[in-house]
A and B are shown apart, each in its own frame.
Chain A
Amino acid sequence: MNPVLEFEGISKLYRSVLRDKHWALRDFSLRVEPGEIVGFLGPNGAGKTTAIHIALGLARPTAGGGTLLGQKFGTVSVRRKLGFLSESPAFYHQTAREVLKFCGALNGVREPELSHRTDDLLAAVELTEDANRNIGKFSRGMLQRVGIAQALINDPDLLILDEPTSALDPLSRLKVRELLLQNRQRGRSVLLSSHQLSEVELICDRVVFVQKGRVVKSGRTQELLLDSGGFEITASGLKAAPSGAQSSHVEDGRLVFTVSAAQQRAAIEQIWSAGGTLVSVVPKTRTMEDLFVELMTNSESVDREVQ
């Protein structure tokens, strides 16, 4: 199946007036397949927004290329099937309803479908009551909800969202999460750039970590979160942890200890042979935040070593 978004060896060099050079992206490659939600993570200045802008045709790559919904980056007509929310959405000062209609019309949505979709999306982001208020008087959270609605106005095949929930309250975040999952169920794809790591952990099928313009790690979310450090075993009826246990403590009268994957079988056999009862064997997992910190710290120290 063809990817809905593909970056192939993209580099982007910015030059300032004084000819200072800054590589925003270096040999950057990424694929988003149909029907998946991909988390796009990295610290500020990692190159995430630059990559998104290149995909949208707002900036031109210095080297490399890519495709958006099967067409080369910068193809105008293909953007009719794309939804985009920028990091700090800015609109003309109109009412929320007018903004959605304006954005829909720019993407070729015609009446009466435009009015129907506008009403549905205003309801979905809970702005029906404020639909006829000028957005100049909206809070940042309300503006972000307008932004999410406008990104969905053309029923896009691919959604590119840059920090879609940064200004939202927990209930609104939940709502947005539901909207994204609904879109995935309908076979739509999402590229989600976010610093809300817990959210990425909850909804993304795959995650890509970027630092200093390069992909430092990517993979399926659940696989990345599995700590290769081993398993946490809980057993009762034991006086001491089996040999090879890395750490142990007693919890509710049960012995809890960790072992490496290689020693898991031997540890279980020792429990049984000692007359103990195996309560649980749980693979050790880490949070997205743990992984993020680990990756970013490691790649920074590697950079320092190289320098």
Chain B
Amino acid sequence: MTPILLLAKSFVRQNRWLLLALVGWPFLLGGFLRIPHQTTSREDVSEIVQMEVRYGVVVLAFLASSAIYNEKRSRRIIGVLSKAVSREQYLAGLLLGSAYFAMAYFASIGAATLWLIGVSDLVARAVLTVFVCGIVASLWTAAVALFLSTLLYPFFAAAIAAALAFAPFALRDANPFLAPVAALLGGSDPFAASIPLSAIITGLAESAIILLLAAQVFVRRDVAVSIE
């Protein structure tokens, strides 16, 4: 467990400036919304929150897909995988780092929401729903992006992962097993939605399975060859 935690911490540390920018983003957007009107409507906030959540998921897809590539390019991957670290632990560290990243971002969305429309039971529950669903959706997309990045260039991996996450939004009834992100984030009003427990369990389980598949591919790949 220690290597996974250490690698996750390093992942967050390497991306700390992006994380700081993302954490500040909901407050900046909230500020723009609040300043001209002094008060903000729930509908406006609901729209912004939905947009921020989807942005977050896409950013996580790009971040996770470029993680291995960046580590290879910097040659840090050689330093890490020459230690007693398995490929499974390495990928799990990157995914956990992505999860930490998502936690910080969705916590900031929650805090900005409470700042904009005040604290109430309804808002607190909605914020919790957004927080949990956002993290699980990000984790699933990051796991897919990580898996694809063991085979493809990061940009293609991120693009395909984002497409797999968001294309089912166009369908009227997406199967939650095939499209957990749509099941998690598909509600039109996050304040009216309740926590979709089955989608959360599905999302987490599928993330774990995708991670194991990624490890099976990654263990068969040379990590020390030139990536150019």
Contact residues of A with B, CB < 8 Å?
A: 14, 49-50, 53, 56-60, 76-80, 82, 84, 86, 88-94, 102-103, 105-108, 150
- Which of A53, A78, A79, A91 is the one whose CB lies under 8 Å from B76? A91
Are A84 and B74 also in contact (CB < 8 A) when A59-B222, A102-B10, A105-B2 are?
no
Cβ contacts A to B, 17 pairs, < 8 Å: A14-B225, A50-B224, A60-B220, A76-B86, A77-B84, A79-B84, A84-B82, A86-B79, A90-B74, A90-B75, A91-B76, A92-B76, A94-B13, A105-B2, A105-B6, A106-B6, A150-B79
Contact residues of B with A, CB < 8 Å?
A: 2-3, 6, 10, 13-14, 74-76, 78-86, 220, 222-225
B-side contacts of A86, CB under 8 Å: 75, 78-79, 82
Report the minimal beta-carbon distance from B87 to chain A, rounded to whole angstroms: 9
B223 closest partner in A (C-beta) = A58
Report the minimal beta-carbon distance from A70 to chain B, rounded to whole angstroms: 15
Report the minimal beta-carbon distance from A243 to chain B, rounded to whole angstroms: 59
B222 touches A103 (CB 8 A): no
Are A58 and B81 also in contact (CB < 8 A) when A92-B76, A105-B2, A106-B3 are?
yes
Give Cα A80–Cα B222 distance, bound, in whole angstroms. Answer: 21
A-side contacts of B13, CB under 8 Å: 92-94
A-side contacts of B82, CB under 8 Å: 56, 58, 79, 82, 84, 86
B-side contacts of A80, CB under 8 Å: 84
Give Cα A14–Cα B14 distance, bound, in whole angstroms. Answer: 31
Are A92 and B84 also in contact (CB < 8 A) when A53-B224, A59-B224 are?
no
B83 touches A107 (CB 8 A): yes
Report the minimal beta-carbon distance from B208 to chain A, rounded to whole angstroms: 20
A76 touches B220 (CB 8 A): no
B83 touches A103 (CB 8 A): yes
A88 touches B75 (CB 8 A): yes
B84 touches A102 (CB 8 A): no
5 pairs of A and B residues whose beta carbons are closest in the complex: A106-B83, A58-B224, A53-B224, A59-B222, A90-B75
A92 touches B83 (CB 8 A): no
B14 touches A106 (CB 8 A): no
B-side contacts of A59, CB under 8 Å: 222-225
